[in-house]
Amino acid sequence: TEACLTAIGKSGALNAFVHNTPEIAHAQSAAADERIATGDAPDMCGIPLGIKDLFCTKGVPSQAASAILAGFKPEYESTVTQNLWDSGAVMLGKLNMDEFAMGSSNETSVYGDVINPWRREGSDAALTPGGSSGGSASAVSADLCLAATGTDTGGSIRQPAAFTGIVGLKPTYGRVSRWGVVAFASSLDQAGPMTKTVRDAAIMMEAMASHDAKDSTSYDIPVPNFEAALTGDIKGKKIGIPAEYHMDGMPAEIEKLWAEGTEMLKSAGAEIVNISLPHTKYALPAYYVIAPAEASSNLARYDGVRYGHRAKLAAGDGIDDMYEKTRAEGFGSEVQRRVMIGTYVLSAGFYDAYYNRARRVRALIKRDFDDVFAAGVDAILTPATPSAAFGLGEMSDADPVKMYLNDVFTVTVNLAGLPGISVPTGLNSEGLPLGLQLIGRPWEEGDLLNTAYALE
CB of 102 to ligand GLN, least distance (A): 5
CB of 125 to ligand GLN, least distance (A): 22
Contact with ligand GLN (CB under 6 A) among 15, 83, 153, 422? 153
Contact with ligand GLN (CB under 6 A) among 1, 11, 83, 104? 104
Q: Rule CB under 6 A: is residue 395 a binding residue for ligand GLN?
A: no
In degrees and rounded to multiples of 5, residue 135 shows phi and psi of -65, -40
Residue pair 40/101 in contact by the 8 Å Cβ criterion: no
The Cα–Cα gap between 325 and 288 comes to: 26
Q: Rule CB under 6 A: is residue 102 a binding residue for ligand GLN?
A: yes
Q: Rule CB under 6 A: is residue 446 a binding residue for ligand GLN?
A: no
136 catalytic, yes or no? no
Name which of 25 and 411 has its Cβ closer to ligand GLN: 411
- Give the residue among 114, 118, 58, 107 at the shortest CA–CA distance from 82: 58
Name which of 85 and 404 has its Cβ closer to ligand GLN: 404
Q: Rule CB under 6 A: is residue 132 a binding residue for ligand GLN?
A: yes
Q: Which stretch binds ligand GLN (CB under 6 A): 146-154, 273-281, 370-378, 387-395?
A: 146-154
Name which of 265 and 395 has its Cβ closer to ligand GLN: 395
Window 332-371: contact mask with ligand GLN (x via CB under 6 A): ----------------------------------------
Q: How many residues bind ligand GLN (CB under 6 A)?
A: 13
Q: Which stretch binds ligand GLN (CB under 6 A): 22-30, 98-106, 325-333, 383-391?
A: 98-106
Residues 291-320, interacting with ligand GLN (CB under 6 A): 291
141 catalytic, yes or no? no
Contact with ligand GLN (CB under 6 A) among 49, 101, 167, 436? 101
- Give the residue among 54, 302, 313, 330 at the shortest CA–CA distance from 192: 54
Q: Which residue is nearest to ligand GLN (CB)?
A: 156
Q: Rule CB under 6 A: is residue 190 a binding residue for ligand GLN?
A: no
Q: Rule CB under 6 A: is residue 53 a binding residue for ligand GLN?
A: no
132 catalytic, yes or no? yes
Q: Rule CB under 6 A: is residue 227 a binding residue for ligand GLN?
A: no
Q: Rule CB under 6 A: is residue 180 a binding residue for ligand GLN?
A: no
Given 105, 156, 218, 396, which residue is catalytic?
156
> Which residue ranges make up the site for ligand GLN (CB under 6 A)?
101-104, 132, 152-156, 184, 291, 407
Q: Which residues are catalytic?
A: 52, 132, 156
